[in-house]
Amino acid sequence: MSNTGKPFDLRGIIGAAIFIVAGALAIYYSGEFSPLGSVFPRTIAAAMILLSAVYIISALLWRKAPETPAPSSNIRRILLAITLLAWATLLDPLGFLSTSILCYAAVLLIANYDHWTPRSAVLYTAVGICILGGLYGTFRFALQVPFPVGILL
């Protein structure tokens, strides 16, 4: 175990502890669901608990040399929060798939620090369509989760 000067990550440990409590509450309250309906929330809650515990252990045991923090932008954080609120608000009137595609594009534009190239634009678009289409297909057809229909998809 090497302790080479990384400051103690108290905020990260507190955040991970909050996720453990939230996961435990999700498992507790999913007991009221049907057996099939409780599978997804319990799986996600178990993953939250496990990964948060791994983070706490790694934050306490393995420390790295201090790194120079990446430049941050409060404007980007505010725009991300607005985008997530827009997703939640537009989900019902526009539908899941169309709202998710619009908000994915917005988050992509907000979060990308790198210079845009035609190759990266095509790659990010293709990956986004595959992920959103895969999630939509899995939840809609395989898991039979009802989505808001909206005026679009």
Q: What are phi and psi of 72, to 5 degrees?
A: -120, 165
pTM for this predicted structure: 0.59
pLDDT at 129 over 50: yes
pLDDT of residue 88: 92
Mean pLDDT of 13-42: 91
At 37, is the pLDDT very low, low, confident or very high (cuts 50, 70, 90)? confident
Instruction: Write out pLDDT tens, residues 60-79.
Output: 887 665 566 566 678 888 99
* Mean model confidence pLDDT for the chain: 85
Residue whose C-alpha is closest to residue 91's, from 21, 7, 148, 14: 148
pLDDT at 153 over 70: no
pLDDT at 1 over 50: no
**Would you say 46 and 64 are in contact if contact means Cβ atoms under 8 Å apart?**
no
